[in-house]
Structure 1
Amino acid sequence: MTAWADAVARVGVDARAAREAQTDLEARYGEPHRHYHDLSHAAAVARDSAALAAGLPVSERAAIALAAWAHDVVYNAAPGEDERRSARWLRQWLIRAGVAEPHVARAETPVLATAAHEAPEGDDAGTALLDADHAILGADPSSYAGYAAAVRREYAKYDDETWAAGRTAVLANLLARPVLYRSGTARARWETAARANLAAELTRWRANPGDRR
């Protein structure tokens, strides 16, 4: 996880606290109830958001790297609360490491934005994180199917009927958006495949709302 260490170093840090934060982060992403929102997902978001933010200033790239690694550090299949607690985790560790408040806030804000998946107009760093977080939607059909099955396992506490109703609503809402990705680069890379994947899954759920764990 050199990307985490590099990002923290860019904003000024106590090295020991940074290492302790990384240890805690890795332990949390390794929790047994995670099937998709694990360390591999965080690494993929860090990679893709870095590519999308390549033209931004160093401080912005550092903030988005920290946000990418931390955006799902707390994950209990509780939308909204998970994002708030993940942002709180990031804030607490960065403060403990001696990072200045402006850098803390800049890294915290995109994590909070993942709750509604909306960022202010002109927030290119936030846009990079949100688009990278949805990159899986535009993956090849096999990878997308693996993602969908893994998320279903993470929400195993819900019965099939409840899950089917919620999942079809999420898919329909996504497909109703004029665009799935905020940046032109992400749209060119993932938009067409993402819409095909979402439409195919929605069709399957509507045809057969049985167990998909």
Structure 2
Amino acid sequence: MHDDLYKFKMYWEHFARQYLDQIQSRQILNILLEAHTESQRSYHTCQHIVECLELFTQIKNHIDDVVSLELAIWFHDVIYNPQAHDNEEQSADLMKLLCRNAFGKDVIEKKVYGWIIATKQHALSQEKDLNYLLDIDLAILGASPKRFAEYEAQIRQEYIRVDREIYQVKRRDALKSFYQMQPLYQTAFFNDKFEQHAKRNLQNVIEIR
């Protein structure tokens, strides 16, 4: 946890120093940290953002607009309530409020705002950069068996108030929908690196349930 917090801050400082003054950077960082350490979160935490950013650094040379994509990563889960159905919309709204004076209108309103909302459905896009964002967000499905098991436990903890049997049915349906996506990952990098691992992880969990 402490390592994730350290990396979270370091990644933010590296990103923010290019576009924000120190006061703006510190204010937004505090909001991001407070959000991603809320008590209702187990998976949608600093760890998830750091994992996304680590993947982002590997594919930056494939991205047309690295600024927009990284900004979307930082804010795509800034609002997270397991009982709500509009987390992505609220996250996009907060991103727009906090960043509208620091980045151009085209970046905020024509790209990042819509990209954050797109993480709700993970539908194939005609925008190459958005497909990379969606693949980054789903990369956890292709993680090592140990990390995937941890992820499943973290998601269960976020929905701990849901009856066990109801949760198992709904979770199986959600994982099955990912398993049935052909392909699951839309970009060549993520398809090559994670597709087979993800399908194996998903199949194992679906069969167990």
Matched, 1:169 2:173: yes
Code of the aligned partner of 2:35? R
5+ residue gaps, structure 1: 206-213
Contact 1:86 1:111 in 2 (8 A): yes
Q: 2:81 aligns with which of 76, 79, 86?
A: 76
The higher relative CO (CA closer than 8 Å, separation ≥ 6) is in 1
* Aligned counterparts of 1:3 and 1:47: Cα–Cα separation in 2: 9
Shift of residue 8, structure 1, vs aligned partner = 4.2
TM-score, reference length from structure 1:
0.87
SS in 2 for 1:74: coil
TM-score, reference length from structure 2:
0.88
* Aligned counterparts of 1:8 and 1:115: Cα–Cα separation in 2: 26
Matched, 1:151 2:158: no
* Aligned counterparts of 1:23 and 1:149: Cα–Cα separation in 2: 27
Q: 2:133 aligns with which of 129, 135, 148?
A: 129
Code of the aligned partner of 2:32? L
Count of matched residue positions in the alignment of Structure 1 and Structure 2:
200
Contact 1:64 1:129 in 2 (8 A): yes
Contact 1:49 1:131 in 2 (8 A): no
Shift of residue 26, structure 1, vs aligned partner = 0.6
Q: Which residue is 2:121 aligned to?
A: 116
Matched, 1:3 2:11: yes
Q: Which residue is 2:6 aligned to?
A: none
Code of the aligned partner of 1:21? I
Q: How does 1:64-103 map to 2 (within 5 A)?
A: 64-78=69-83, 80-95=85-100, 97-103=101-107
Shift of residue 47, structure 1, vs aligned partner = 1.9
Shift of residue 62, structure 1, vs aligned partner = 1.0
Q: Which residue is 2:42 aligned to?
A: 35
Code of the aligned partner of 1:23? N
Shift of residue 164, structure 1, vs aligned partner = 1.2
Matched, 1:47 2:54: yes
Shift of residue 159, structure 1, vs aligned partner = 0.1
Code of the aligned partner of 1:4? W
5+ residue gaps, structure 2: 1-8
Contact 1:84 1:112 in 2 (8 A): yes
Q: 1:195 aligns with which of 195, 199, 204?
A: 199
Contact 1:8 1:62 in 2 (8 A): no
Q: Which runs of 4+ in 1 moved over 4 A?
A: none
SS in 2 for 1:178: coil
- The sequence identity of aligned pairs, in percent, is 25
* Aligned counterparts of 2:60 and 2:171: Cα–Cα separation in 1: 30
* Aligned counterparts of 1:62 and 1:6: Cα–Cα separation in 2: 12
SS in 1 for 2:62: coil
